[in-house]
């Protein structure tokens, strides 16, 4: 039986492409607020006897999260054989430990809530720096997809003679893998985060790459301070105008204006809808759904709830 693809509001475009690519039936989720502010949710599409994939990217997750839970519970009540969360961007991955006494470890709390609601989770490049895999946080099977090959393809097709640059030590994995795929050199900067919007960047000597176009690659652009600080340092080094490719285009508040002013071009994947989206990931996710969420990454294990 065809899968039922149910997008939460704002995810319709991605879900329509996904459904077309994996042969699923697109449905919809109607949401509104009752006068007292509580959430109303109604599914349009019949979950009875079929796998249901609820599509909801989790950028700015707080206002819609209860509606997402209600939609999943409704699909299960109405006979879905399994209820999966397709979250191209996965929220709450950065507060993954107690940095100061008394803080909540929101990564773990959020993972518990999602794991108690869904059977499986499919996502793209979760911000996993201190945990080896999503299975360290989530108790349901999780499938992780990686955008690096597509980022590499975009850079190879659009930027002649690139120098791939990761803004911090943790981005070595991205920068190294993208550079290796396209036969380009890469460099990694040093970042010290001093606060939510305070970042210091040190740049190594890049003089031997002055004939190349610097391309910053990162997983997330949120406040944009990492990218702005890196661009400011590069500007003082007589390099060619830099470009930037990110996976998850969160661009909080005025970040888009700040970042786009510092780079010749900024592009992103479509995990979060944004004017910078140029790299389409629906085919990657559709392929994962067609394979039954198998073989996406090593952390697809555990028992569906």
What DSSP assignment string belongs to 119-135? SEEEEES---SSSSSGG
Looking at the Cβ atoms of 68 and 216, the one nearer to ligand PRP is 216
Known catalytic residue: 240? no
User: Is residue 4 within 8 Å of residue 51, measured between CB atoms?
Assistant: yes
The DSSP element (H or E) to which 7 belongs, if any, is strand 4-7
Task: Give min distance, CB of 188 to ligand PRP, in A.
Answer: 12
Using the structure block, give the residue that is written with the tokens 């979760």.
Answer: 126
Looking at the Cβ atoms of 129 and 233, the one nearer to ligand PRP is 129
Q: Which stretches of the chain bind ligand PRP, using CB under 6 A?
A: 94, 129, 167-168, 170, 193, 199, 218-226
Task: Give min distance, CB of 226 to ligand PRP, in A.
Answer: 3
Task: Give min distance, CB of 24 to ligand PRP, in A.
Answer: 32
Which among 126, 64, 62, 65 is positioned nearest to 93, based on CA atoms? 126
* CA pair distance 179, 151, nearest whole angstrom: 10
Looking at the Cβ atoms of 218 and 270, the one nearer to ligand PRP is 218
State how far the alpha carbon of 56 is from the alpha carbons of 2, 68, 156, 302, in Å.
20, 8, 30, 22
Catalytic residue (choose from 191, 233, 240, 301) = 191
Task: Give min distance, CB of 200 to ligand PRP, in A.
Answer: 11
Looking at the Cβ atoms of 117 and 226, the one nearer to ligand PRP is 226
3-state secondary structure of 158: helix
Q: Is the alpha carbon torsion for 51, 56, 61, 63 positive or negative? A: negative
Task: Give min distance, CB of 294 to ligand PRP, in A.
Answer: 28
Q: How deeply is 257 buried, as exposed, middle or buried, from its count of CB atoms within 10 A (0-12, 13-18, 19+)?
A: exposed
Looking at the Cβ atoms of 117 and 269, the one nearer to ligand PRP is 269
Question: Which strand ranges, in their side-by-side order, compose the sheet holding 82-87?
Answer: 25-26, 4-7, 51-55, 82-87, 120-124, 142-145
* CA pair distance 234, 287, nearest whole angstrom: 38
Looking at the Cβ atoms of 7 and 166, the one nearer to ligand PRP is 166
209 token code pair: 């790459």
Could you say which DSSP state residue 170 is in? G
* CA pair distance 82, 77, nearest whole angstrom: 11
Task: Give min distance, CB of 234 to ligand PRP, in A.
Answer: 15
| Residues 6 or more apart in contact with residue 285 via CB below 8 angstroms | 18, 86, 88, 122, 124, 145
Q: Which residues are catalytic?
A: 191
């Amino acid at each position: 039986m065809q899968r039922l693809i149910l997008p939460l509001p704002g995810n319709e475009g991605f879900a329509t492409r996904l459904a077309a690519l994996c042969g699923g039936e697109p449905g919809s989720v109607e949401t509104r607020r009752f006068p007292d502010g509580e959430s109303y949710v109604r599914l349009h599409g019949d979950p009875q006897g079929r796998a249901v994939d609820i599509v909801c990217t989790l950028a700015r997750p707080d206002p819609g999260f209860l509606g997402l839970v209600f939609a999943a519970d409704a699909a299960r009540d109405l006979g879905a054989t399994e209820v999966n969360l397709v979250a191209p961007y996965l929220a709450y991955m950065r507060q993954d430990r107690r940095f100061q006494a008394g803080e909540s470890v929101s990564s773990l709390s959020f993972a518990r809530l999602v794991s108690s609601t869904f059977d499986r989770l499919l996502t793209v490049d979760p911000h996993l720096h201190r945990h080896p895999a999503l299975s360290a946080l989530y108790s349901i099977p999780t499938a992780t997809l990686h955008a690096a090959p597509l980022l590499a393809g975009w850079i190879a097709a659009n930027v002649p003679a690139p120098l791939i640059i990761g803004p911090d030590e943790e981005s070595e994995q991205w920068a190294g893998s993208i550079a290796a795929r396209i036969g380009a050199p890469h460099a990694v900067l040093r970042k010290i985060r001093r606060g939510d919007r305070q970042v210091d960047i040190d740049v190594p000597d890049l003089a031997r790459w002055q004939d190349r176009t610097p391309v910053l690659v990162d997983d997330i652009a949120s406040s944009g301070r990492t990218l702005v600080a890196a661009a400011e340092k590069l500007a003082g080094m007589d390099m060619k105008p830099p470009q930037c490719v990110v996976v998850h285009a969160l661009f909080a508040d005025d970040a888009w204006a700040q970042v786009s002013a510092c780079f010749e071009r900024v592009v992103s994947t479509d995990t979060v809808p944004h004017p910078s989206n140029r790299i389409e990931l629906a085919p990657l996710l559709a392929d994962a759904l067609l394979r039954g969420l198998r073989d996406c990454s090593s952390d697809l294990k555990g028992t569906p709830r």
